[in-house]
Structure 1
Amino acid sequence: MTPYQPTPEFAAALDSQDPLRGFRDRFHLPPGPDGQPGIYLCGNSLGLLPKTARAAVEQEFTAWEQLGVEGHFHGTSPWMHYHETLAAASARLVGAKPVEVVVMNNLTTNLHLLLISFYRPTVTRYKVLMEGGAFPSDQYALESQVRLHGLAPDEAIVELVPRPGEHTLRTEDITARIQELGESLATVILGGVNYYTGQAFDMAAITTAGHAVGATVGFDLAHAAGNIELHLHDWDVDFACWCTYKYLNSGPGGTSGVYVHERFANRPDLPRLAGWWGHDPADRFKMKKGFRPMEGAAGWQLSNGQIFPMAIHRAALALMEEAGGMPALRRKSERLTGYLEFLLRRLNLPATTLEIITPADPAARGGQLSVLVHRNGRALFDFLARNGIVADWREPNVIRLAPVPLYNSFMDVQRAGAAIEKWVAQAE
């Protein structure tokens, strides 16, 4: 691989060789202050709008207009079975079997539904393990779940924290903590990629360790789905959920994905919150008492599918599949993130000024660098915004930069690096 260089010419050469370069034109890029397309490095918070999304939703508007209620059973994509049209692509996205996935609801709703089934504390096995500083929705969900069982969060929830002086968790420390908790541990629930640091966890090792002590293991994949390659079935993960509006480009507040391992595919005895859309479709419309779940993850559905968000999601998934799926996207993502890291490290700034807290090992991170700015961090963030570079600010002093392989270019990364270099020079 040619060593990275900081010049526009080098970035342009990389773009010319990029097999995915044409997909940038398949998205709407928000304009910068000068009216030209800005540099959007915030796909880890909200992905951009695919140009095919409007037509996908318009198709369902037309079905509604022309068919009314019959749109559930007729038309190009009958709504009765719409969630089924997303299963194969969703399974490939997360490394699962189609029976193990379903698209429904929103992320935290799905997390609650899964925890009802997979956090089943007893008198002696009641602890749940999560990373300290997890995204607030996960913290709130777990707090409320343990309270539902009459437990105190401070006693039931165990938080993982990095070693002193470190920003990320070591896999050996996670597995050691699991072993230490042993038979008191009911459930492990971590983010597949930590939203703040960008660290990607070793989900296979964590799952193996959790199962060894008899715990169930699940992951919130909000920052992992569409960002890193996942092999949930092969890793033997019990359950997982993810949103679709970040790296999956499926719109603000978009629908969510759920994974449940096939070992639970035919477990009507497993406690769950039930709704009619998860009932056996053979007699769903008989309106009888007595819930009988569908096979697989679909048995966790509650209500009719959200057709318009699902239509956007289907269009976005089709683009990812056309690009070659996660292997192709991940290859470019690693290069984009590596180039950004090179541009930041070549500034030779002391860690007391600007510090990358995301792991340096590409296998231990997704397409994000979290930059801890110890002095005037907000000023740098505002400077980037004035120069048409959209990043993400996280209190108290972290800027998250996330180049996305479908629509970001190496020139985007080069310009962002040059802007940071210019700010540093001005601040000295």
Structure 2
Amino acid sequence: MSVVQLSPRAQKLHDDLTAFVEDECIPAEAEYQKALGEGTQRWKTVPQVIERLKARARTLGLWNLFLPKEYAEGSGLSNYEYAVLCEVMGRSPTIAPEACNCSAPDTGNMEVLAKYGSPTQKQRWLKPLLDGKIRSAFAMTEPDVASSDATNICTRIERSGSGYVVNGRKWWISGAGHPKCAVFITMGKTDTTAKKHAQQSIVLVPADARGVTVVRPLTVFGYDDAPHGHCEVTFDNVWVPAENLILGEGRGFEVIQGRLGPGRIHHCMRSLGMAERAMELMIERVQNRTTFGRKIAEHGVVLDYIAKSRMDLESARMLVLRAADMIDKVGAKNAQKEIAMAKVVVPNVVLAILDRAIQMFGAGGVGSDTPLAEFWAGMRTLRIADGPDEVHTRQIAQLEIRHQNARLAARNKSAARSARL
């Protein structure tokens, strides 16, 4: 990828990060997986190699790159600049983001705390998250309702004395299985009689609070994604002090929209790095294997695969960079359409590239000898996570119709004014 429109500082970070990912993170992937072991041990182990790489990233100045420059706790980068760096981290999605303290769901949770957290909340939770001493989880999705419409969320957060009591059942809670997970940013309803989007609130629930149970880890197409995992979690009469409420009662949607916009685009950024790595593996493979008397790369259909993959990937990258640039200029709320378009297009493009790469590896492409199958599982899940394709395409269409109607109304108003003159 050619890097353009970067400040000298961001360019240096890109160069340093590229060397770190290629020379240290990717080579450490096998060691990391081996250290996790098998069975229940996978949920109790933090491989030493990740701690070593964290220390290395700090030394190189590659720590906490994700928070935009408007936050005092941030690295001073724009979303556009971070997009370019985040793509590099996506080349080693299991290792590099965590090594740089830029992995989900912590990035989104830290941004929530930086943007909306009280001084007390920041001191207790944001500071250790920024220091990489703890991990976190975001508890929104529920098994009993269609959570793609978050107004369906039925977990209750009810006032009780000087605090709140939380009751509910969540699942696909990323980060909940990590041994360092210390807090759940939890969504539930505080007032079921309020207006539709004012019933929900967000509360900070300590992972060790009485009544919090991690029921089981869930698998993604057979992958457990240990040690952070995607877990089913129950909250059974969990009491937390009132100071753990974020922003105020009924403001849950405001908080999650502030969180999910940047989070969605971060996923897209990392996905591009996975696609680039898949393309490299595919091209290397087809030049080193022979079928029917000639290199695989000499078959016309394979050349078509490579060309189409490159064209699609470059187009997807432009969508991501435009969305990041729009967030910088007008904020995530006013960049909803650009974020939604990237969120729909990127996973589908990357899935297609991964599928072609897997096809070129044949049986080897569906096993664990390459990262392709695991990448594919993650990408297929991303078409559902943070809002399924259908929700985003609906939003894109609604925004487009609204925009066109506004233009038409302005044109008619101008024509009427001219006619009166």
* Alignment TM-score, normalising by the size of structure 2: 0.26
Higher relative contact order (CA 8 A, sep 6+): 1
* Alignment TM-score, normalising by the size of structure 1: 0.25
